[in-house]
Structure 1
Amino acid sequence: MNVNVSRPAPQASAQQVPQTEALVLNCMDYRLVAAVADYLDGRGLRGKYDQITLAGGAIGVMSDQTTAWAKTFWQHVALARKLHGIRKVIIIDHRDCGACKAFVSTDCADIREVETVTHMKWMEALADEIAKREPGLEVETLLMDLDGSVEAFFL
């Protein structure tokens, strides 16, 4: 069945390109969808960020097992810069991440300190790659606990 629906084209606005604060990268984990939104709202970012969700967050971009996801991520970053003038990427990884267990090590969340270092390593690698590919973008790296609390890492 072919359906051809004709809709009027949106009218071009005389306004400038909207300035969006950031592109947020976070994991797909259903347990933290609301917590991520609440955290960003609490920072006054409601309606001021683009978002891409990939299993594992930074791990999902940087793993050799997810190269197609990386391509999608980089396309999103470039488009968010062009269309919305983003100035930073906020990476929100989280504890007890199933993608970390699938792509890094099944025991990556067993010891809290090891889990922290593991996520820091992947977020730092992504931050370095962002600096190379998209100069001028600030990068913020965060690790969220299952209770919604957040640790910031300054890499």
Structure 2
Amino acid sequence: MKNDFKGIQKCSCQGNCSHLLSRRGFMRSLLTTVVSIPLLEFAQPALSANHHAKALVLSCIDFRFMTAEQQFLANILPQQYDWTALAGASLALSGFPHEAESTAFLDQLDLSYKLHSIEKVIILDHEDCGAYASLIDPNLHQNPEREYQVHSDYLNQAYRMIDHRYPNLDVELYFVTLESEFQLVT
């Protein structure tokens, strides 16, 4: 391509090539630009002064519990929470399957605290968790009392980690059953 004296680029192949911008292509790109610029006026910056979250929620990645968790959270924190999911939830904070999971959660906690002024952390572990089965015991779900105790231990370990880092935050721990019962863990 070379520049014409009027600032218009011309192709050295005398206009017989397909890469030149056609009049229709030019009009289409112009129309897209004209339509999209006014839409940018509606975009609002994500400033913490504009919105706050009540909590950061940590759940497991298991899709079987998503609907129940959303309904539960809607009752206690209607659309006022940040949410992150890691396999095993509280188990991830112990570094399972890699230390990076714990680091990732702590990074999210720091950001949620700084950007959205959260007041609490809610951790949702659940029954029949594959992450727990792979680390602790593949038959853990067959002994409900032991399963609850193991989750309770990891949930409380997560509580201590968060409390050490942010002693001013409330931390709520829950164990969710397959029947969508949310049991508060103390």
Band of TM-score, shorter chain: 0.7 to 0.9
Q: Is the aligned partner of 1:31 residue 2:38? A: no
- Counterpart position of 2:87: 55
Give the C-alpha shift of residue 137 in structure 1: 1.1
Which consecutive aligned stretches of 4+ in structure 1 deviate over 6 angstroms post-superposition?
none
The aligned amino acid for 2:122 is I
Q: Is the aligned partner of 1:140 residue 2:181? A: no
Give the C-alpha shift of residue 67 in structure 1: 0.8
Mapped to 2, the partners of 1:135 and 1:17 lie a distance apart of 25
Q: What is the percentage of aligned positions where both structures have the same residue?
A: 30
5+ residue gaps, structure 1:
none
Contact 1:22 1:49 in 2 (8 A): yes
Contact 1:17 1:84 in 2 (8 A): no
Give the C-alpha shift of residue 78 in structure 1: 0.3
* Residues 1:145 and 1:12: Cα distance change in structure 2 (over 3 Å): closer
The aligned amino acid for 2:51 is P
Q: Is the aligned partner of 1:81 residue 2:99? A: no
- When the two structures are superposed, what TM-score results if normalisation uses the length of structure 2? 0.73
Alignment RMSD, CA only? 2.3
- Counterpart position of 1:18: 51
Q: Which has the higher contact order (CA 8 A, sep 6+)?
A: 1
- Counterpart position of 2:102: 70
Contact 2:48 2:116 in 1 (8 A): no
Once the two structures are overlaid, the 10-residue window that deviates more, 62-71 or 80-89, is 62-71
Contact 2:48 2:115 in 1 (8 A): no
Mapped to 1, the partners of 2:72 and 2:45 lie a distance apart of 33
* Residues 1:76 and 1:65: Cα distance change in structure 2 (over 3 Å): same
Total equivalences in the alignment: 149
Larger Rg: 2
- When the two structures are superposed, what TM-score results if normalisation uses the length of structure 1? 0.87
Mapped to 2, the partners of 1:113 and 1:14 lie a distance apart of 45
The aligned amino acid for 1:62 is S
Give the C-alpha shift of residue 148 in structure 1: 1.1
Q: Is the aligned partner of 1:40 residue 2:73? A: yes
Mapped to 2, the partners of 1:149 and 1:119 lie a distance apart of 15
Give the C-alpha shift of residue 13 in structure 1: 8.1
Mapped to 1, the partners of 2:55 and 2:133 lie a distance apart of 28
- Counterpart position of 1:98: 130
Contact 1:17 1:83 in 2 (8 A): no
Matches within 5 A, 1:103-118: 103-118=135-150
